[in-house]
């Protein structure tokens, strides 16, 4: 699976862009299934990518910022793949967001990785993430010329050529970035900025072309499923700025930010054609499981995405009526106290609603995409009743997320609870028990940052309190016994989690 950071389909000739930015992908896609209405679940890398890997929406996997923690006892599609005998390679396998998802080895450079697979017939899943199109926009001289970059010079052009991050609200931000925050984008610069982005697109297309050609020549393509997509899109001044949540510190969810390419090629080329059905990153893993005939019964909760195969094989016209996305305001750079503030969207083929947080609730924007695909005219204030169905869909989605999140966290914490019981009663002892306890605490910290988490919702909250109380009681009892130089022992017939059945035994 190759994801290209902030790759916009409407700037790819594969998706009908008038400039010839992606000839290599066009050629490749003739043997593949192409999805024309694919959407990320967020407007920056981590939540969008983790949705792909888990099949869960951001409010469920909760990887919303650098302070979030995915627990290794939580269900993970990659671990299911690993159990099926696949080695799991990831572009980024450590650090918050990707830790504990099931990545086993670092991938390194994609080109080098491909070479290592030529003589290795073992089964593998690999994720490569290419940042070639990400700010700063630095196309080769040839691609710059090809897409009409001129010698026009200005502060904003210099900014996009130089900086990874261009802050929309520099005065609010305390982080020490060497940024171009004081830049005021000049409308006159926009064609130049878009040409720079297009030049970058052609560059990554050529790189992908070389990689895929190498795979074809060496036969690797005949035994590899290839998925090409993106983590999110990029704003190129359609709504007043350039970048995405992590680079502009300006969380928005217009289509240029959430629409992504999605191409899937299978070795026997049996999946071809185009579908305009609404699909999302959460559908990628269910599709892969479907292609590989891997049962997803071990996923607890079940993945929220659906297999895309019916769209291609059975020519079904849709698998869902709505897509949803959610983002923090400043992406990766969001400070802890702002992480609970979320921009959210619900979109059908015809309408779109976006909720922007304000001090007194949310400002709502609604767009009629049939007349206004560019989302320029907010018609929600005049035509609110037309959008009721999207509001109801969003409520249903929120409820389902709460349920799925509770199943994910409660499932993991009850496994942790069992581990604590085994640790204090068995040979592992107190240190392991305390580690298990601290993992439960980390889960709690992550979930306290989620705005609409399940804590406040009975019966999830009471089950969560039970887990915490029981774990604390187990550890306290083990510590007391250990301080008295004894070991805990439980009646053979009792459940380890029945703390009252344990007694502290002193052996001579
Ligand atoms: Zn990204």
Of 453, 444, 506, the C-alpha closest to 471 is 444
Closest listed residue to residue 88, CA positions, set 102, 76, 75, 74: 102
State the virtual CA torsion across 268, 130, 231, 316 in degrees, nearest 10.
-20
pLDDT at 173: 56
User: Rounded to an integer, what distance in angstroms lies between the CA atom of residue 174 and that of residue 171?
Assistant: 8
Task: List Cβ neighbours of 123 (8 Å cut-off, separation of 6 or more).
Answer: 84, 85, 86, 87
Angle subtended at Cα 89 by Cα 301 and Cα 76, rounded to the nearest 5 degrees: 10
Residues facing residue 325 across a β-bridge: 345
Angle between helical axes of 460-483 and 430-448 (0-180°, round to 10): 150
Ligand 1 geometric centre to CA of 232 (Å): 6
Distance of CA 441 to the CA centre of its chain: 23
Q: For residue 183, is pLDDT > 80?
A: no
Tell me the CA–centroid distance for residue 67 and ligand 1, in Å.
17
Q: Mean pLDDT across the stretch 26-45? A: 98
What are 237-283's pLDDT values in tens digits?
999 889 999 988 889 999 999 999 999 999 998 899 999 999 999 99
Q: How far is the CA of 45 from the centre of ligand 1 (A)?
A: 4
d(Cα 118, Cα 211) in Å, to the nearest integer?
13
Question: How remote is the CA of residue 270 from the centroid of ligand 1, in Å?
Answer: 31
- List Cα–Cα distances, 347 to 34, 38, 247, 368, 404, in angstroms: 20, 12, 24, 10, 21
Q: 327: which strand partners?
A: 343
The DSSP output letter for 273 is E
Q: What are phi and psi of 343, to 5 degrees?
A: -95, 135
- Residue 44 Cα to ligand 1 middle (Å): 5
- Pairing relationship of beta strands 2-4 and 242-243 according to DSSP bridges: unpaired
Q: Between 358 and 344, whose confidence is greater?
A: 344
The residue extents of the domains of the chain are: 2-378, 399-505
Look up the pTM and report it: 0.95
Q: What is the 187 CA–ligand 1 centroid distance (Å)?
A: 25
Say how far apart CA 345 and CA 365 lie, in whole Å. Answer: 9
Residue 229 pairs with which residues in a beta bridge? Answer: 3, 262
Task: Give the pLDDT confidence of 232-245 residue by residue, as tens digits.
Answer: 999 999 998 899 99
Distance 204 CA to ligand 1 centre (A): 15
How remote is the C-alpha of 28 from its chain's centroid?
25
Q: Helices H, strands E: what count in the chain?
A: 16, 17
From ligand 1's centre to the CA of 293, what distance in Å? 30
b (16+ CB within 10 A) / e for 349-369: eebbbbbbbeeeeeebbbbbe
In 3D space, the residue among 108, 200, 117 whose CA is nearest the CA of residue 160 turns out to be: 200
Task: Calculate what percentage of the chain has a pLDDT beyond 70.
Answer: 96
Distance (angstroms) between ligand 1 centre and the Cα of 508 equals 62
Q: Tell me the CATH number for domain 2-378.
A: 3.40.720.10
CA–CA separation, 498 and 279 (whole Å): 46
pLDDT at 491: 76
Q: How far, in Å, from the CA of 3 to the mean position of ligand 1? A: 9
Using one digit for the tens of pLDDT, what is the confidence trace for 365-383?
A: 999 999 999 999 999 999 9
Computed on alpha carbons and rounded to an integer, the radius of gyration of the chain in Å comes to 25
Angle at 365 between CA 360 and CA 367, to 5 degrees: 170
Residue among 310, 315, 311, 306 nearest 285 (CA): 306
As a whole number of angstroms, the distance between CA 446 and CA 61 comes to 10
pLDDT of residue 80: 95
Strand-pair category, 361-368 with 351-358: antiparallel
- Give distance in angstroms: CA of 382 to centre of ligand 1: 35
Query: Each residue of 432-469: pLDDT tens digit?
Result: 999 999 999 999 999 999 998 999 899 899 999 999 99
114 CA distance to ligand 1 centroid (A)? 23
**5 CA from centroid of ligand 1 (Å):** 4
Does the pLDDT value for residue 39 go beyond 70?
A: yes
The pLDDT score that the predictor gives to residue 177 is 55
Chain position carrying tokens 């080695």: 87
């Amino acid at each position: 699976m190759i994801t290209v950071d902030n790759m916009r389909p409407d700037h790819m000739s594969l998706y009908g862009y008038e400039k010839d930015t992606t000839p290599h992908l066009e050629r490749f896609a003739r043997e593949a299934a192409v999805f024309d209405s694919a959407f990320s679940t967020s407007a920056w890398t981590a939540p969008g990518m983790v949705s792909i890997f888990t099949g869960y929406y951001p409010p469920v996997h909760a990887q919303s910022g650098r302070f979030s923690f995915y627990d290794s006892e939580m269900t993970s599609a990659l671990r299911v793949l690993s159990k099926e005998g696949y080695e799991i390679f990831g572009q980024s396998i450590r650090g918050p967001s990707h830790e504990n998802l099931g990545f086993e080895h670092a991938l390194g450079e994609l080109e080098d990785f491909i070479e290592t697979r030529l003589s290795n017939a073992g089964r593998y899943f690999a994720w490569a993430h290419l940042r070639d199109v990400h700010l700063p926009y630095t196309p080769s001289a040839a691609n710059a010329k090809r897409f009409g970059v001129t010698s026009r010079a200005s502060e904003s052009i210099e900014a996009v050529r130089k900086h990874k991050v261009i802050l929309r609200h520099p005065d609010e931000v305390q982080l020490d970035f060497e940024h171009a925050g004081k830049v005021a984008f000049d409308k006159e610069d926009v064609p130049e900025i878009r040409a720079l982005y297009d030049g970058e697109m052609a560059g990554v297309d050529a790189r992908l072309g070389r990689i895929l050609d190498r795979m074809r020549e060496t036969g690797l393509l005949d035994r590899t499923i290839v998925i090409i997509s993106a983590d999110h899109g990029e704003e190129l001044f359609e709504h007043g700025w350039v970048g995405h949540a992590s680079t502009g510190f300006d969380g928005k969810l217009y289509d240029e930010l959430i629409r992504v390419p999605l191409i899937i090629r299978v070795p026997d080329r049996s999946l071809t054609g185009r579908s305009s059905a609404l699909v999302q990153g959460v559908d990628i893993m269910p599709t892969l499981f479907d292609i590989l005939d891997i049962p997803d019964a071990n996923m607890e909760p079940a993945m929220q995405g659906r297999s895309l195969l019916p769209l291609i094989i059975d020519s079904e016209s849709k698998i869902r009526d709505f897509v949803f996305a959610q983002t923090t305001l400043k992406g990766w750079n969001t400070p802890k106290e702002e992480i609970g503030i979320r921009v959210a969207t619900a979109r059908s083929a015809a309408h779109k609603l976006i909720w922007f947080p304000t001090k007194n609730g949310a400002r709502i924007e609604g767009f009629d995409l049939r007349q206004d695909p560019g989302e320029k005219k907010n018609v929600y204030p005049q035509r609110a009743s037309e959008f009721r169905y999207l509001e109801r869909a969003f409520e249903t989605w929120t409820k389902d997320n709460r349920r799925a999140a509770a199943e994910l966290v409660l499932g993991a914490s009850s496994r942790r609870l069992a581990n604590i019981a085994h640790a204090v009663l068995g040979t592992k002892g107190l240190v392991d028990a305390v580690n298990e306890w601290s993992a439960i605490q980390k889960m709690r910290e992550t979930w306290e940052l989620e705005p609409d988490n399940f804590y406040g919702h009975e019966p999830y909250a009471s089950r969560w309190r039970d887990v915490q109380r029981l774990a604390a009681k187990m550890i306290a009892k083990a510590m007391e016994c250990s301080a008295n130089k004894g070991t805990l022992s439980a009646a053979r017939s009792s459940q380890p989690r029945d703390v009252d059945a344990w007694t502290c035994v002193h052996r001579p």
